[in-house]
Amino acid sequence: MKLPRSLKARALQCLAQREHSRVELRRKLVAHAEAEDEGAVAAGAPLAELAPVRVEAVLDWLEAHGYLSQERFVESRVHARSARFGNLRIRQELKQHQVALPADAAQALKESELERARAVRERKFAQLPADAAERARQARFLAGRGFSPEVIARALRMSACVDDEPGAADSAPT
């Protein structure tokens, strides 16, 4: 019979797969700790500690030993999301994890947002918007990805200007 894993072992397994925020890891571990407590009480054992207290102790240990890091989580999440999403979406996701975006990372995202919006639009849509309905469709797509209205407008204008430049067709690979 396989022995159940400890909360620390479960946490380390989660962190080995990818970076987690403290909030996210707490949510995962509390469910297991409560299940362990219910099983122990059902077996007749006295309830030694409450599940949230045990989970907080494990999380504190993980942070103290460098296994759990909010900075690494932010860096990982921004890196994973920046190619597909805008600043608004990335900030919202970090807010759900109760983590703030550092000023230097926010500045880097801000500087690259226009280029990222253009790249996302070009991956999704092969053609530039030919009419107002198609322009609105592409703008809604970019807004759903978390790009700001100003960046969306500039990205759609910039794409049209770049493709209308003389010689743009000449430099395109055949």
pTM: 0.76
Output the CA torsion sign for 69, 75, 81, 87: positive
**C-beta separation of 68 from 15 below 8 A:** yes
The region of weakest confidence among 32-41, 65-74, 77-86, 112-121 is: 32-41
Q: Given pLDDT bands bounded at 50, 70 and 90, which one contains residue 50?
A: confident
pLDDT for residue 40: 59
Neighbouring CB atoms inside 10 A of 74's CB total 20
CA separation for the pair 139, 119 (Å, rounded): 13
Query: How does DSSP classify residue 129?
Result: -
CA separation for the pair 152, 117 (Å, rounded): 7
What phi and psi, each to the nearest 5 degrees, are found at residue 75? -60, -45
pLDDT for residue 5: 81
Q: Given pLDDT bands bounded at 50, 70 and 90, which one contains residue 141?
A: very high
CA separation for the pair 138, 126 (Å, rounded): 11
Neighbouring CB atoms inside 10 A of 138's CB total 20
pLDDT for residue 161: 59
Any idea which residue has 């995202």 for tokens? 109
Distance of CA 107 to the CA centre of its chain: 17
Give DSSP secondary structure letters for 151-174: HHHHHHHHHHHHHHSTTHHHHS--
